Structure 1
Amino acid sequence: MLAVGAATACAVALGATGASAAPVSPDTPYPGSIPSWAQPSNDQGAAAADTSVEGELFLSLRNQDGAKALAEAVSNPRSGKYQKWLDAAQWIARFSPTKDDYANTVSFLESKGLTITGTPDSRQYVVFRGTAAQVNSAFGAQLHKYDFKGTTLIGPSQAPTLPKAVAAHVVGVTVDQGAARHPNYATPDSGQSDSGQGGSGQGAAPRSRSAAPATPSAACSNYFGQNADTVPPAYGRTSFPTYICGYTPGQIESAYGKDALVKAVPGNRGKHGQAPDGKGQTVAIIDAYASPTILADANAYSARYGLPPVDYRQIVPSPGEFKDGALCGFPSGWQPEQSLDVDAVHGTAPGAKILYVGGYNCNAGIDIALSKILDGKLANIVSNSYGNQGEAVSANYLFGQVNLELQAAGEGIGLYYSSGDSGNEAASLGYASPDFPASSPWVTAVGGTSLAVAQDGSYQFETGWGDTRDQIVNGAYNDPLPGPFRFGAGGGVSAAFAQPDYQKGVVPNTLAQGKRVSPDVASDADPYTGYVVGISPITDNTTLATGPFAIFTYGGTSLACPLTAGQMAVAQQVSGEVIGFANPAIYATSRRSGTVQDVVPPPTQEALAFTSPSTGSKYLVSLDLDTSLQTARGYDDVTGLGSMNYQFALAVARQGDHGRPF
C-alpha cells in the first residue's frame, strides 16, 4: 500500500503553510488557503480594487478514502487489483462531487458577480474570475500584494470564508497567484548572471524568456569529446571537451539502448507485431498557450533528422482566450517548452501519437487542460514539463491537486513531471524545497543528468545535472573554482508529503526522514549536453508572428521528462501492458533488475569548455555540483533510482506481465 493519500497530504502540508488545509467545521474560514509567502513582513499593501484575480474552489470527493485505496491497488504490482483501472465515467460516477453540490457551488460564485471560467466534467473544482473587490466581498479574503523574492504576487491577507451551505462540500479555496507554473527548460546561455546564485532565472511567477537562443557555434561538439578547448588550469588539466551542440534523436535513442531493445525483442517485434517505436500509444503533453507553428515545425524537424511525420493533434484555446501573459511569461516563453516536449517525445517514440492540450494560462488553465485528458481518458501517459517554485503554495492547492492525481492513478494514467531546474530552490526560497507537483507521491518525478554519448552513439557515462560556470577573463577564472551555481536538477525532501511505501527500503532513511523524496528517475537535462529542437520563434506576443524555422539547443528537466515519457510509450507498445501510475512498479523493478543505470559521482571532476554563441565569452562548466543535492550510489535526490533507458522502461511495463524478463 502507498503511505500517503490526499487526506494525509493535506494534513502534513501544515509544515509548509502553518495552517489546516480544510475547515474544521463548515462555517469556519479556510486558513489553508494562505500560502507561506503571504506574510506581514513582505506585505506591500492592499491590491487595487480592479485587479483581475483568478481563483478555484475545490470540492470534496464523495469517498476520499475509497479513491486513495483504488489508486493504491491498481498501481501496485503486488495487488490482486493491479491494472484493473476504471474508465473516466466510472471514476466520476463513483468519486466525483454530486451534480447538486457542484451546481450550488457555481450558483454561489455567480451570485457574487464572479465569472465562471472552468467547469471540468469531474466536478472536482470550479474556476472563477473577478476583481479584487469582488473576491474580497465574496470571501472576505482582503487581497494584498506581497514581495516574494523580487516578484510581486497577489494573495489573501486573511483566511477566506464561505457560508455554511457552500462550505459543507468545499474543501479548499485558492485566490492567490502563487500557483502559477513555470516551464523547466534551459539553454546554454540561460540562467542567472554569473555573479548571482540560483537556477534558470525563474521567479515564483515565470518571467518572459528569449524564445530564440543563439545558434551554436563551431566551438561545440556533435558528440562527447569530439572537440576540446584549452583553458586555465583546473582539476589538474588545461584541456576539456567542448559542450554539445545538441544531441540528435538518433543519438539519444542509441545511448539509451533502443538498439539493444530491438535486438532483445524476438523478431524485432513487440507483442502486437510492430517495431519498437511507440506505435499504438498516445502521449499527452500539457503546457500553457499554443505555438502557432508547432505542426509545421515538428514535421520540418522530423524531415531533418530522419523521423516519420508526427502524428499530432491538439486541444488548445484560441489566441483571443490566452490570459495572464505577464504573469506566465507570454506565449513566446512557453513556445520553446511545447516544441521541446513534442520533439523529445517524437524522437524517442516516433510511432506514438502526440496529443497536446494547452492551458489558457499557467495557473487554473493548466488544471483545466489536465482535466480534459483525465475526464476523457485521452491518453495513459502525460508529460508535464513545468512546476511551481518549491512547495511554496497553499495547503488547499496541494489538496486539490492530489485529488486530480488520484483520479489519474485510478484510471491508469501515468503523470510524469519534470523535477525543476534550480536545484534545492534555496537561492530563490531561502530554504531547501523540491518543486511541486514533482514532490507529490502520486506522480513520477523526472530528474536530470549530464549525458556523454560517444561518436558511435554508444553510452559513455552520465553524471548528475548540476552546473557551475566560471567565466575566463584575461586568461584566469573570474571566481574561485568551481564558480557560481548555474542550474541543476530539482529534488529533495518534501515538507508536505509523507514517505510512500514504494520508497521504503530503497531511499536511505538518513535522507528521507519519513518524507517523500524526489525525483524517481532521471534523463539527460543538462543544456551543455542538450537536445536539438526545431522552432519558428514567436516574435510578437500580440499577433503571434514568428521568425524563420531554425534548430536550437535546449535542456532542463523539461527535456528529461518527455524523453522518459517517450521511452515508457515504447515499453507499453512492446509489452502490451499499460503502466499507469508507474512509481510502485518502478521501485519494485529497481529491487530485482539491473537494467536501471545508477548515476554515481564521477571518479574525477568532469567539466566542459563553453564559448557563448551570443557573446563570445568563455567559461569552464563543472558538472555534478547541484546545490545541496548530491548523486550517490543507489538512490539519490538528483537522479532518483538512476537514468531511464528503454530496457528499464520495458522491465517496469512487464511488472504487469508477471515480471518476465525480456
Structure 2
Amino acid sequence: MAAPVSPDTPFPSAVPSWAQPANDAGAAPADTSVEGEIYLPLRNAKGAQALAAAVSDPANSHYRDWLSPAQWINAYSPTQADYTAVVNHLTGLGMTITGTPDSRQYVVFRGTAAQVNAAFNTDLHSYHYKGATLVGPSKAPSLPRAIADKVAGVSVDQGSLLTRPDSIRQGDGLPASPQARFAAPKAPNAPKSPNSPQANSAACSSYFGENTTTIPAAYGQTTAPTFICGYTPAQLQSAYGKNTVVKAMPGSSGNHGHAPDGRGQTVAIIDAYASPSMLSDVNAYSASYGLPAMNSSSYREIVPSPAQFQDQQACGYPSGWQGEQSLDVDSVHGTAPGANILYVGGFNCGGGIDVAMSRILDHKLANIVSNSYGNVGEALPADAITGQLNLELQAAGEGIGLYYSSGDNGDQAAALGYASPDFPASSPWVTAVGGTSLAVNKDGSYKFETGWGGVLDKIVNGAYTSGLPGNLYGGGAGGGVSALFAQPDYQKGTVPAALANGMRVSPDISSLADPYTGYVIGISPITDNTTMATGAYTTETYGGTSLACPLSAGQMAVAQQLSGTTLGFANPAIYATAASHPTAFTDVVPQAQQPVLAYTSARSGSQYLLTMDTDTSLSTAQGYDDVTGVGSMSYRFALAVSLWGRR
C-alpha cells in the first residue's frame, strides 16, 4: 500500500548550504528570537522579466516605457487575497508581522524558535559558520498545502544577518583578515577609534607621490610613494573628468545651463539603522570641502526609531553601520553636489533591508539606489535569492537602477573554500560596482588607476617579514563568474567567452575603493549603541567597494541630469556605451611598473609595503575584466549618454 500523502508541502530550498551536520551545534534554545520571510510568487514572472529587459534595452522599441509602481503591482504582484491569507496564517500561529510591503511580494515576521518549529514543522539548530553562530533549519520547513500553494519560498534562517557593509577604514583589518573583521560584531557601547587624515599627516600624502620614503628593495625600487591621507571631493571630481564635461557642454539643453552636479535627481541610499548626526555631519563636511550645504529638503530620511532596531548584535550594531551611512552620503554628495539624497534605513540587516528597498520601489522615491552591502558569495538559500530577484525585476520595470558594491574580499575563496562573486552584485538585474586604486596628481588631474587588491608585507629592522608580496591581505574588489546566473545578453561580445563560460560575470563598472588611496569622510562616531550618543565630529579615511558604489551612483545622477532622461536599469546602456564610446570609461589595465605604496599604521606605528593590483584569483586586463568591469566610471560617461540620451 502506498504511503499517505502528507498534507504539508516542504520547501527544501529553504535549507541554507551551511546548515550541515558538520557545523551543527545542537537545537536552538526554544526562546531564541528568529526572523523569517515568506516570499509570494509573481503572477507573471516571465512577463515581468520580459518587461524589465525591454524597457532597459536602448535597442528595444519599448526602451524607457516604464510602468508606475501602481501599474507594476497591479500587473505582477501577488493578489491581495493570497497575501492576506498568508499574513493571517502567520498571525494565527502567534507570529509578529514586521514587514508588509505594498507590493505584497513577501512578509517579514518574527517568532521564537519553538513557534517557528511548530509553525513550519521543522527543527531549528545552531550552526557554526565562518566565525559566527547562526540559527537555521535542520530539515526542510513546510506549510499546509492550502497556504503553500500561494507561496514561492520560505526563509527561517539567520543567514541574512551576515549582511555587512562593503567598507574598510584605512588600517582596519591589520593583522586580522577582512573576513575576521566582518564576522566579529562590534562590542556595544564601544566608540570607534578615530583614524583621521590629520593623525597620519606626518607620513601620508594629500596627492599621489607628494611624499616618498625609503623601502627595502622591492620590484626594482628602493623608494615608494606613501599612502593617501584621503582624497577630497574636489580631487575626485577633477580626476574623474568633471572639467571635461563643463568645457564640452556649456549651457547645453540637457544641462539647463547649470554645472554638471546632478541637480534635479534623487539618489536613494539603503543601509541598516541610522546615524543620529548625519545631517549635521554632512554639513560640517560640506563646509570643510566646499560643497553646498544640505537641508531637510535636499537630505531626507525614512528610518526606524532606535527603539525599533532589531538584531543589533548579529548585524554589527548601529555603530558598525554608521560609517557606511556617512561614507555613502558624503560620496554621493561629493560626486553630485546638486542631487537630492534620500536615506532609507532598515530596522536590521536582514528583512529590514528588504522593507527599506520596497519603500523606495513601491512609491518610486528615487530612480538611482545605492546599496553598499552584500553577502559572502552566493551561498544563500534559493528561496531568498528568488525573493531578491523579484524586487530587482520590479525596480527595472519601473525604471529604477539598483547599484551594488561587488565586495571587499576578492574571489571569497578564503571564506568559502571556492571562488565566488558576492550576491546581490552577481545578479544580472543590478549594476555591480567593482573597485580601483586611484593616483591623483598635485593639480587634481588623473595619473593612473589599477585594480583594487592589496597585499601588505610588514617591514621590521629594514627587512620584510615575509616574501613579497607579503601575507596580509588588505582587501580587494569582489567579482568573478556566477554559479547561478546565465550570461545576460548585454554582456555578450564584451565579456571574454573564455572568462564567462556562458555565465554572468561581475562587476560591470568600477570606481575608487582602495582605502590606502581612499576618500575622506566626516562622522560624529556613536559612542553608545543603547543611547545613540555620539562623540565629537572628526574625519576618517575610508575605502571598499562601499565607496565605489555611491561614487558611481553620484556620477549616474550627473549622467541623467545632462541627458535629461532616466537610465533605469543601466547595464544594457553601460555595455552599449562602452562599445560605441570606448573613452566613456577608463580601461583599467596592469601598470608597466608594479605599483606599491608605503603605509605606516597610525595605531601601531608599524610599517608596511603595499603591493597593489593583486586581487586573489581576479585580475585586471585590457578590455573587460572581473575586477573593474568595462572600466572605471568617469564624468565622460555622462557626456556620452547625453549624446544619445534624448533619443
Could you say which TM-score interval applies, normalised by the shorter chain? over 0.9
Question: In the TM superposition, what are the counterparts of 1:74-89 in structure 2 within 5 Å?
Answer: 74-89=55-70
Task: State the match for 1:162 in structure 2.
Answer: 143
Match of 1:376 in 2: 363
Q: 1:308 — aligned with what?
A: 292
Matches within 5 A, 1:414-429: 414-429=401-416
Q: How far apart in 2 are the matches of 1:200 and 1:260?
A: 42
Letter in 2 for 1:223: Y
User: How far has the Cα of 1:207 moved from its partner?
Assistant: 5.4
C-alpha distance in structure 2 between counterparts of 1:138 and 1:277, whole Å: 52
Contact 1:198-1:428 at 8 Å conserved across structures: no
Q: CA deviation at 1:27?
A: 4.7
Deviations 1:295-343 (A, max 9, x none): 0000000000011012201000000000111110000000000000000
| 2:346 aligned to which of 359, 373, 376 | 359
Aligned to 2:165: 183
1:258-283 deviations in Å (ceiling 9; x for gaps): 00011111336744332211110000
Alpha carbons 1:200, 1:421 under 8 Å: kept: no
Measure the CA separation in 1 of the matches of 2:528 and 2:138: 36
Deviation of 1:179 (Å): 1.5
Assess if the C-alpha contact under 8 Å between 2:191 and 2:525 holds in 1.
Answer: no
CA pair 200-221 structure 1, distance change in 2 beyond 3 A: farther
Distance 1:475 1:584, change over 3 A: same
Distance in structure 1 (CA, Å) of the matches to 2:103 and 2:16: 26
What is the one-letter code of the residue matched to 1:481?
A: L
Determine the structure 2 residue equivalent to 1:627: 616
Q: Larger deviation: 649-658 or 352-361?
A: 649-658
Where structure 2 has 5 or more consecutive residues not aligned to the other structure, the ranges are none
Q: Which residue of 2 aligns with 1:31?
A: 12
CA deviation string 1:234-274 (max 9, x = no partner): 11111100000000000000000000011111336744332
Give the deviation of 1:432 after TM superposition: 0.9
Deviates more, 1:484-493 or 1:67-76: 484-493
Q: SS of the residue aligned with 1:516?
A: strand
Structure 1 gaps of 5+ residues are 1-23
Query: Normalising by structure 2, what TM-score?
Result: 0.96
Query: What TM-score, normalized by structure 1, do the two folds share?
Result: 0.93
Q: Which residue of 1 aligns with 2:510?
A: 522
Larger mean CA deviation between 50-59 and 274-283 belongs to 274-283
Partner of 1:241: 225
- Residue aligned with 1:300, SS: helix
Q: Name the residue aligned to 2:488.
A: 500
State the Cα distance separating 1:200 from its structure 2 match: 7.2
Determine helix, strand or coil for the equivalent of 2:528.
coil
Work out which of the residue numbers 251, 258, 278 in structure 1 matches 2:242.
Answer: 258
Equivalent in the alignment of 1:130: 111
Q: CA deviation at 1:144?
A: 0.7
Judged with a 3 Å threshold, the aligned counterparts in structure 2 of structure 1 residues 25 and 134 are, in CA distance, closer, same or farther, namely closer
**Is 2:124–2:138's contact at 8 Å kept on the other side of the alignment?**
yes
Q: Any idea what SS the aligned residue of 1:637 has?
A: coil
Matches within 5 A, 1:603-622: 603-622=592-611
Amino acid paired to 1:533: I
Amino acid across the alignment from 2:12? P
- Tell me what 1:14 maps to: none
2:275 aligns with 291
Cα distance in 2 for residues equivalent to 1:498 and 1:289: 34
Residue identity matched to 2:537: F
Q: 1:588 aligns with which of 573, 576, 581?
A: 576
Q: Distance in 1 between matches of 2:29 and 2:343?
A: 36
Q: Does 1:277 align with 2:261?
A: yes
The amino acid that maps onto 2:13 is G
Q: Is the CA contact 2:563–2:638 (under 8 Å) kept in the aligned structure 1?
A: no
Matched, 1:150 2:131: yes
Match for residue 531 of structure 2?
A: 543
Q: CA separation in 2, counterparts of 1:480 and 1:175?
A: 46
- Cα-Cα RMSD: 1.6
Q: Which amino acid aligns with 1:568?
A: M
Cα distance between partner residues in 1 of 2:477 and 2:270: 20
User: Is 1:395 equivalent to 2:382 in the alignment?
Assistant: yes
Alpha-carbon offset, residue 206 of structure 1 = 5.7
Pick aligned residue for 2:395 from 408, 426, 447:
408
Paired residues of 1:538 and 1:544 also in contact (CA < 8 A): yes
Q: In structure 1, how many angstroms separate the alpha carbons of the residues matched to 2:444 and 2:220?
A: 29
Secondary structure of the 2:576 match is helix
Q: Which moved more, 1:649-658 or 1:88-97?
A: 649-658
Find the aligned partners of 1:275 and 1:611 in 2 and give their Cα distance.
39
SS state of the match for residue 657, structure 1? coil
Q: Which one of 537, 544, 547 corresponds to residue 559 of structure 1?
A: 547
Instruction: Tell me how far 1:26 sits from its aligned partner.
Output: 9.5
* 1:98 paired residue number: 79
C-alpha contact 2:194 2:538 (8 A) present in aligned 1: no
How many residues align? The count is: 632
Which residue of the partner structure matches residue 15 of structure 1? none
Distance 2:6 2:13 in 1: 13
Larger CA deviation: 449-458 vs 178-187: 178-187
Partner of 1:219: 203
Shift of 1:117: 0.6
Q: Are 2:619 and 2:625, in contact at CA under 8 Å, matched by a contact in 1?
A: yes
Whether 1:442 aligns to 2:442 is no
Pick the aligned partner of 1:201 from 166, 173, 181.
181
2: CA distance, partners of 1:640 / 1:657: 26
After superposition, where does 1:639-658 map in structure 2 within 5 Å? 639-652=628-641, 654-658=643-647
* Structure 2 CA distance for partners of 1:26 and 1:68, relative to 1, 3 Å: farther
- Please show how residues 439-478 of structure 1 align to structure 2 within 5 Å: 439-478=426-465
Shift of 1:496: 1.3
